[in-house]
Amino acid sequence: MRPLVNLEIASLAERHHTGIPNVTKHLARELLGDATVEPGFWLNRQRLPVRLVEEIVALDGAPHLWWLAGRIADGEASTITDALSVGIYPSHKWHRRFFEQETLIVHDLTAVTMPQYHSEATVAWENSRLLPDILTSDLVVAVSESTRQDIRDYFPQAAAIPVEVAQLAPCCGPPDQVHRVKVAPYVVVLGTLEPRKNVVAVLEMLQREPAWIDAFTFVFVGRWGWGTSIADLIPTYGLTGAVEAGRVQFTGFLPDAERDVLVANASCVVYPSRYEGFGLPVLEALALGVPVVTGEGSSLAEAGGPYAIYVDVDSPTALARGLNDALRDTGVRAASARRTWAAQFSWWKTYERIRDLALETAARSKAANACDRFR
C-alpha cells in the first residue's frame, strides 16, 4: 500500500508565486510526479482534487484558490489509512495536529532574529505562530543549516523535536533553455522591496558612485513589499534623472520565465539581503551561470558556496568592490563552475529528502504506537 503524503498548499493562493509559494509549487509538482506515494493536497481542511492542483502549479499565481476551496466539498474528510500517512506544511499551519504525522518546513526566523526588518503585523503574526507550530510537529525541516541553528538557539523549548536540513533548489528553468540575447550590459538587483532585502544599499552605492550608471543599466526585479515606496526612494537617492533616462529600472514582480531571461543575460546579479533563511536568488543566478554579489553571513554561503561573492552590504564601498570583482569573473569556465555548483541542488532531491524524513519519522512513530494505529 502506497504511503499517503499530504501537502498543505495554502500559500499557492498568493497572487504571485515567489518565495514560499514558489517552494510550495515545486514541492507540489514533485509530489504530483511521485508514483511511489498517494498525493493529498490540502487548503485549510479541504482536500483538493489532484486535477485542480495540476492546473494550479502551472500558473504564476492563484488568488482564486480560496474561492475554489470554499466551493469544493467533495465529501472526503478522511485521511485515515492503514498505510503510512504524513502531512507536510511548507510554512505555517492552518490547524495544528491536523495530519497524523506533521512535518513543518521552517524557512527562516527573521521575525525573531531581525524583527526590525519586518512590519509590526508580520512580527506579531510570526511570533505568535512559529513556536506552537514547531511544538506540534513530529519533524521540523529547516531549509538551511543556518535556519536549523536559529531554531535550536531561539527555541530551546523545542529541543525534543527533531530538526533536519533540506536545502532548496533553483526555481529557474534549465540554463540551456533560457533565451540568450546580446544587449547593452546591465546589472540585475534581485529582491522584494522591503528593508531586510536591502535593495537600498544598491541605490546608495549608485548615489555615491554615479559612474556605475554610465557603465551599466541597473534593473531592480521584485515586487514592492513594505517600507518606503519606490516613488519616494528614487528622489531620496538622487536617481530621478537616471530613472527617466532608463538607466535605473524597476520591473516589479516578474514571472519565473521572464525573470530567468533577464538574469541569464545580465552581467551580474546583486542580492544585497541582510539575512536569509536560504537565499534562493543567489542559487538561481549561479544556476544560470551569472556572477552574483550578496551579503555575508546567515545562510547565503550555503546557497552560493565558493561561487558567490560575499560583501558587507551595509558598506556601499564594499558593495562596489564586490561588484567590480564579479564583473571581472565572466569567463566561460567560471560560468560553467557556477552552473555545476547549482546543479547539485534539485527540487526532486529536496522533495525526496523531505518525503523520506517525514515517512521515516512516521514509521518510527507507527512502530512505537503499534497497539493503537491512530494515536
The answer to whether the beta carbons of residues 285 and 263 sit under 8 Å apart is yes
CB closer to other proteins out of 60 and 100: 100
Q: How far is the CB of 249 from other proteins (least distance, A)?
A: 37
- Minimum distance of other proteins from residue 174's CB (angstroms): 35
Residue 99 or 341 with smaller CB distance to other proteins: 99
CA–CA gap between residue 292 and residue 274 (Å, rounded): 15
| Among candidate residues 176, 166, 111, 178, the one with its CA nearest the CA of residue 141 | 166
Instruction: Provide the minimum distance between the beta carbon of 47 and other proteins in the complex, in angstroms, as a whole number.
Output: 11
Binding map of other proteins across residues 7-26, x = CB under 8 A, - = no contact? ---x--x-------------
How is 15-48 classified by DSSP, letter by letter?
A: SS--SHHHHHHHHHHHHHT-TTSEEEEEETTEEE
Largest CA distance in the chain: 73
Name which position in 157, 229, 340, 344 contacts other proteins (CB under 8 A). 157
User: According to CB under 8 A, which residues from 66 to 85 bind other proteins?
Assistant: 66-73, 75, 77-80
Q: Which of 36, 54, 94, 215 binds other proteins (CB under 8 A)?
A: 94
Could you tell me the end-to-end alpha-carbon distance of the chain, in angstroms, rounded to an integer? 20
Question: Taking Cα atoms as reference points, which of 116, 109, 107, 113 lies closest to residue 303?
Answer: 107
Provide the 3-class DSSP secondary structure of residue 5: strand
- Of 4, 23, 43, 139, the residue at the interface with other proteins (CB under 8 A) is 43
Q: Does 46 bind other proteins (CB under 8 A)?
A: yes
Q: Should residue 51 be labelled a site residue for other proteins when binding is judged by CB under 8 A? A: no
- Please, what is the minimum distance in Å from the beta carbon of residue 224 to other proteins? 25
CB of 141 to other proteins, least distance (A): 20
* Residue 79 near residue 40, CB atoms below 8 Å: yes
Closer residue to other proteins (CB): 43 or 53? 43
374 lines the binding site for other proteins (CB under 8 A): yes
The reply to whether 176 sits near other proteins by the rule CB under 8 A is no
Under DSSP, the state recorded for 3 is P
Cα(263)–Cα(198) distance, rounded to whole angstroms?
19
**Cβ(269)–Cβ(216) below 8 Å:** no
Contact residues for 146 (Cβ-Cβ < 8 A; gap 6+): 277, 298, 299, 302
95-154 residues near other proteins, rule: CB under 8 A:
95-98, 100, 128, 131-132, 135-136
Distances, alpha carbon 172 to alpha carbons 97, 103, 282, 321, in Å: 34, 26, 11, 27
Give the nearer residue to other proteins in terms of CB position, either 92 or 338.
92
Angstrom distance (rounded) from CA 104 to CA 110? 17
Nearer to other proteins, 69 or 319 (CB): 69
Q: How far is the CB of 250 from other proteins (least distance, A)?
A: 33
Query: Residue 43 or 178: which CB sits closer to other proteins?
Result: 43
Beta strands in the chain (DSSP E): 4-8, 38-43, 46-48, 85-89, 102-106, 139-142, 163-165, 186-190, 217-221, 248-252, 268-271, 292-295, 309-311
d(CA 297, CA 299) in angstroms, rounded, equals 6
Q: How far is the CB of 96 from other proteins (least distance, A)?
A: 5
Give 100 or 108: the residue with its C-beta nearer to other proteins: 100
Q: Nearer to other proteins by C-beta: 134 or 266?
A: 134
Span interacting with other proteins, options 43-51, 108-116, 207-215, 232-240, rule CB under 8 A: 43-51
Binding mask 270-289 for other proteins (x = CB under 8 A): --------------------
# of chain residues touching other proteins (CB under 8 A):
36
Binding of residue 365 to other proteins (CB under 8 A): no
The DSSP letter of residue 297 is S
Task: Give 100 or 150: the residue with its C-beta nearer to other proteins.
Answer: 100
List contacts with other proteins (CB under 8 A). Answer: 10, 13, 43-46, 65-73, 75, 77-80, 94-98, 100, 128, 131-132, 135-136, 157, 372-375
